[in-house]
Structure 1
């Protein structure tokens, strides 16, 4: 799967959760989704809690996934291939992708949405 195709798959995955998510930014440089309700994020009130973004880079596609940062215990069981893509606490770097990774990502995003709904963030 080429980088552009990975980027498209990630966009479609996130778009499949609209609503309760909404698109905050959509350009060639970034695709970002957030919640739909005004909430506190840190010390400031925001119009939608940050959820995830897709950022294409020359050598990979970056997937920033905030629920893994806010609820790390809920995402401790990642497959070995997914763990290899995780750089830092919440950023995945994808150079290759297969159906197993897409399915795992879909389950992760669904869990993230569920957790954020439960916490009244989205």
Structure 2
């Protein structure tokens, strides 16, 4: 798998996040990063809640989904194949489709 495959992976993962963009704020949208925040902000620092992002990195495509911190049951039905891509609790790294 080469880095030339990363845009295809990126676009596939981006499509999942785009399903939620009507309820969120698009912070960044370019060929290598798609980043969504909530409209709600933390009371203490007034910064928005980070919802999710997909980013092309040097050796993989990274997918972050922050709601799993508040709703850990979202992880209960992950397939074994998807679990192989987990890096921490809310990050998944992909090198191939």
Q: How far has the Cα of 1:15 moved from its partner?
A: 1.6
Higher deviation after alignment, 15-24 or 84-93: 15-24
Q: How far has the Cα of 1:93 moved from its partner?
A: 0.4
Aligned to 1:92: 92
4+ runs deviating over 2 angstroms:
26-30
Total equivalences in the alignment: 94
Secondary structure at 1:49 match in 2 = strand
Aligned to 1:108: none
Secondary structure at 1:85 match in 2 = coil
Aligned to 1:76: 76
Paired residues for 1:1-122 under 5 Å: 2-36=5-39, 38-40=40-42, 43-46=44-47, 48-97=48-97
Q: For structure 1, list consecutive stretches of 5 or more residues without a partner in the other structure.
A: 98-122
Alpha-carbon distance between aligned partners in 2 of 1:5 and 1:30, rounded to the nearest angstrom: 13
User: Does the aligned pair in 1 maintain the 2:86–2:93 contact within 8 Å?
Assistant: yes
Alpha-carbon distance between aligned partners in 2 of 1:81 and 1:71, rounded to the nearest angstrom: 21
Name the structure where strand makes up a greater proportion of residues: 2
User: Does the aligned pair in 1 maintain the 2:10–2:32 contact within 8 Å?
Assistant: no
The alignment's TM-score, normalised by the length of structure 1, stands at 0.66
CA RMSD, Structure 1 to Structure 2 (Å): 2.1
